[in-house]
Amino acid sequence: MGPTIRDVAQKANVSISTVSRVVNNPLAVRKEKRDRVLVAIKELGYEPNPFASGLRDKRSMTIGAIIPDISNPFFAALLRGIEDVARENRNNVIICNSDQDGSRFKEYMHFFYKKRVDGIIFVSESITPNHFECFQKVNAPVVLAATESLMYDHPFVKVDDYRASFDGTQFLIKNGHRNIGMISGSISDPIAGRPRFAGFENAMNENGLLLQKEQVVFGDLKYDSGYQAMGKLIAKTPDITAVFAASDEMAMGAISFLTERGIEVPQDVSVLGFDNIPAARMIRPGLTTVAQPIYEIGHKSASALFQWVNTGVKPDSIMLDHEIIVRDTVIRKKTESLV
Amino acid sequence: MGPTIRDVAQKANVSISTVSRVVNNPLAVRKEKRDRVLVAIKELGYEPNPFASGLRDKRSMTIGAIIPDISNPFFAALLRGIEDVARENRNNVIICNSDQDGSRFKEYMHFFYKKRVDGIIFVSESITPNHFECFQKVNAPVVLAATESLMYDHPFVKVDDYRASFDGTQFLIKNGHRNIGMISGSISDPIAGRPRFAGFENAMNENGLLLQKEQVVFGDLKYDSGYQAMGKLIAKTPDITAVFAASDEMAMGAISFLTERGIEVPQDVSVLGFDNIPAARMIRPGLTTVAQPIYEIGHKSASALFQWVNTGVKPDSIMLDHEIIVRDTVIRKKTESLV
DNA sequence: TTGTATGCGTTATCAA
DNA sequence: TTGATAACGCATACAA
């Protein structure tokens, strides 16, 4: 193993407490000795053993992140934001892939408990009483990223999903679309589901567009469900001119379905996504979408968590701005002058 | 803090060593006492403090992973494989995003050293003497994933890039293509660059197709460079009927360029990718590609690492099979009967 | 089979 | 300003 504090002390001809001081509170040591210690540290390549410190201080310098699936580009980008902040704070992050398998949640929290994480970032899923109970047991600060809890009072960092969806719908309407379908997330999903649906519904209503049941189909935010949902939607409402999908992946699924059926995007039907995942700009036609600042959500939520851990004062929640990224999949609807 | 081994001992009316034994080597304790201890553990919710164990045993139960960029879907999938194995082994993984910024590498290794990682997985980049030196200093087993080292003797898990590229080219040729362009990775990249280029070149040669300089353009494996490379390629060799890109992202960039120029894929030119990232199946036309078993590379490399860490015997390298996934972007070239 | 005692490397308390 | 020492929680060598 590497050199210990004792090796340094010996080399610098001081006591181990002095070495510890120059590492943690250099000002408390007279310059002469301090320099001697610094030299010894450098020469030996000494690094404080984090296990010894952790054992004493009960701080792990580690945070936990619960993420649905890191191989999903949305979460990968978000995680990247978390990681970067953790690194700045000389912390690690332990990642747990929840796989939307609620049953494993308890296990993960247990894992965090075992590992004595200093704080937790909980990404994207909605909070159940079960979650809450587990949070209490680990007894570590919890910050929510891209989700929020109505019932429990955890700080969160996210976009205003309702507002974003409302604006997205408005955007479609401003472009002349009247007959708009929606591929929504599950209505029982209080984040990406209900609010985005509600934003759509209200925007339609406020524009005097009456919403029919047939215009909405539900998916699970992933590609395949978008593909299938589009099939159902087009069967029920063949005359739509635009589709609003609650996630980019579902939008991509919808586009695939449409394209395979010879329905051209955007000439025949426009498609609006939600998220702005990296792939959105890589496909042709480029996906027009309601963008969340994904990296920033991760970054800000981690910053908030560290602030909390370090100062002990619970941070405020943050509502980040969304933005409509105009690419190619939404066009202004031709006026129906011929009709 | 939580209960300690002493609390359990007291509750079960045994010594702490007995408690320690039932945790680490249950068979060494008489059943009667063992059960008493087990009950106490459960009732108290006792968890061994990893810092105390780590301090004593000098094992961190943590591995480090150096990955170019987790927000890249290829690496995200690979990481997922690593994570899953780590979890099975009750280990964490600390992730460092190298961002192909070699200068930060030393810093990361230092971080690993500080954190006393038990082993390291090094993903995808090529090994320089600088890397090697750092590896030596941390003095932990290193397994290479999706890369290998000719100079240094680290176990690796990867695909045979040369062979895979050779087969991909062969596939294009079998489909009637003669005039084939390549968008290659950098020739100085000993993994995704040179071998894939060599596979292409040799397959062409073996089929009596003489390769012109103009048929090859180089990129950095990412989307934008694929886009630009396609521009150069089409300018230099307007009569190609197929393009082989050394990564799916570059293939997507190439398709974007082509599509924007009104050149249809695959009718006008076929495109073959490499990797089989998740997006490959989500775009239309679906990307035909030479698939690497990405998740499996991560999984197997982590398994090898743990085997090494646990037994002390260096594992063998593993060459995994590639596979050509046929989707829509490559078509059989129409015979030129009209010419 | 079980218990006692020691050391792992740090930091903080206390005395000098 | 500095140094000696106790404590953090655990696993094992050794003694019983």
Nearest CA in chain A to B264: A284
Nearest residue to D13 via alpha carbon and C1'? B17
**Chain Cα centroid distance, residue B127:** 15
Question: Which residue is closest to B328 within chain A, CA to CA?
Answer: A260
Which tens digits make up the pLDDT trace of A76-134? 889 999 999 998 898 889 888 887 676 778 888 888 888 889 999 999 777 888 888 88
Cβ-proximal residues to B113 (8 Å cutoff; 6+ apart), any chain: A2, A47, B137, B138
- Distance, in angstroms, between B121 CA and closest chain A CA? 16
Distance B141 CA to D5 C1' (A): 38
Q: What integer is the mean pLDDT of B70-75? A: 84
pLDDT at B224 over 90: yes
CB within 8 Å of A155: residues ≥ 6 apart: A143, A144, A304, A308, A314, A315, A316, A317, A318
Instruction: Name B324's bridge partners.
Output: B290
Nearest-CB residue to B284 (from A249, A256, A295)? A256
Q: DSSP string covering B277-325, please?
A: -GGGGTSSSPPEEEE--HHHHHHHHHHHHHHHHHH-PPPPPEEE--EEE
**Residue A170's closest CA among A244, A254, A247?**
A244
A225 touches chain B (CB under 8 A): no
What residues form DSSP beta bridges with A95?
A: A65
CA A57 – C1' C3 distance (Å)?
29
Q: Which residue is nearest to nucleotide C13 (CA to C1')?
A: A17
A70 vs B71: CB contact, 8 Å cut-off?
A: no
- Percent of chain A clearing pLDDT 70 (strictly above): 97
- Determine whether the distance from the CB of A49 to the nearest atom of strand D is below 7 Å: no
- What integer pLDDT is reported at residue B336 of this predicted model? 57
Residue by residue, DSSP assigns B8-60 as HHHHHTS-HHHHHHHHH-GGGS-HHHHHHHHHHHHHHT----HHHHHHHH---
More confident residue, B334 or A217: A217
Contact assessment for residue A204 and residue A268, using Cβ atoms and an 8 Å cutoff: no
**B71:A79 CB<8 A:** yes
* Residues in chain B within 8 Å Cβ distance of A97: 80, 83-84
Q: How many CB atoms lie within 10 A of CB B272?
A: 28
Token digits for B201?
A: 């070149």
> Which range is least confidently modeled, A282-286, B110-114, B183-187, B279-283?
B110-114
> Quick check: A4 contacting B, CB < 8 Å?
no
**Which bases of strand D sit closer than 7 A to a protein CB?**
1-5, 7-13
- Rounded mean pLDDT of B132-155? 88
- 3-class DSSP assignment, residue A78: helix
- Mean pLDDT, chain A, whole residue set: 92
Model pLDDT, residue A336: 57
Percent of chain B with pLDDT over 90: 71
Dihedral angle sign, alpha carbons of residues A62, A60, B308, B110: positive
pLDDT single digits (tens) A158-208: 999 999 999 999 999 999 999 999 999 999 888 899 999 999 999 999 999
Yes or no: say if B261 and B232 are a contact pair by the CB < 8 Å rule.
Answer: no
What would the mean pLDDT of B41-60 be, rounded to a whole number? Answer: 92
Between CA A55 and C1' C5 the distance (Å) reads: 20
pLDDT for A127: 81
CB contact under 8 A, B83 and A76: no
β-partners of residue B273 are B289
Examine the pLDDT at B329 and tell me if it is beyond 60: yes
Taking the stretch 3-42 of protein chain A, residues with Cβ within 7 Å of any atom in nucleic acid chain D are: 14-18, 21, 28-30, 32-34
Residue A242 scores a pLDDT above 60: yes
Q: What is the pLDDT of residue B294?
A: 94
Look at B113 and A2 and tell me if their CB atoms are within 8 Å.
yes
Q: With H, G, I as helix, E, B as strand and everything else as coil, classify residue B275.
A: strand
Residue A279 DSSP label: G
- The answer to whether the CB of A157 falls within 8 A of the CB of A81 is no
Q: Which residues of A touch B92 (CB under 8 A)?
A: 62, 92, 94, 115
Q: Token match 């949640």: residue?
A: A105
Nearest to B301 by CA among B278, B324, B320, B275: B320
**pLDDT score for A87:** 87
Give the closest-approach CA distance of A160 to chain B in angstroms.
Answer: 24
B44 touches A at CB < 8 Å: no
Q: Which of B244, B245, B239, B238 is nearest to B224 (CA)?
A: B245
- Tens digits of per-residue pLDDT, B263-275? 999 999 999 999 9
Report the distance from CA of residue B46 to the C1' of nucleotide D16 in Å, as an integer. Answer: 29
Average pLDDT over residues B285-306: 97
Q: What is the mean pLDDT of chain B?
A: 92
What's the pLDDT at A339? 40
Between the CA of B286 and the C1' of D8, what is the distance in angstroms?
Answer: 58
Question: Could B114 and A47 be called an inter-chain contact, meaning their C-beta atoms sit closer than 8 Å?
Answer: yes
Show which of residues 59-88 on chain A sit within 8 Å of chain B, judged by CB atoms.
60, 62, 69-73, 76-77, 79-80, 83-84
Q: Is the CB of B256 under 7 A from strand D?
A: no
Q: Would you say A97 and A69 are in contact if contact means Cβ atoms under 8 Å apart?
A: yes
How far apart are the C-alpha atoms of B245 and B271, rounded to whole Å? 7
Nearest residue to A253 via CA among B283, B266, B259, B328: B283
User: How many Å apart are A324 CA and C1 C1'?
Assistant: 71
Q: Is A51 close to B49, i.e. CB distance below 8 A?
A: no
Give me the residues paired with residue B182 across strands: B216, B244
Per residue in B199-211, pLDDT (tens digit) is: 999 999 999 998 8
- Min CA distance, A326 vs chain B (Å)? 17
Residue among A278, A323, A322, A319 nearest A301 (CA):
A319
Question: For B304 and D10, how far is CA from C1' in angstroms?
Answer: 29
Render pLDDT for A42-61 as a digit per residue (tens, 0 to 9).
Answer: 999 999 999 999 999 888 89
Q: Helix H segments across B116-220?
A: 129-138, 161-174, 194-206
- d(CA B120, nearest CA chain A) in Å: 15
Average pLDDT over residues A294-320: 95
Rounded distance between C-alpha atoms, residue A299 and residue A279, angstroms: 21
* Strand D closer than 7 A to residue A221 Cβ: no
- Which one of B284, B295, B296, B327 makes the best mutation probe of the A interface by having the most chain A beta carbons within 10 Å? B284
- Convert the pLDDT of each residue in A8-41 to its tens digit: 999 999 999 999 999 998 998 999 999 999 999 9
pLDDT at A138: 81
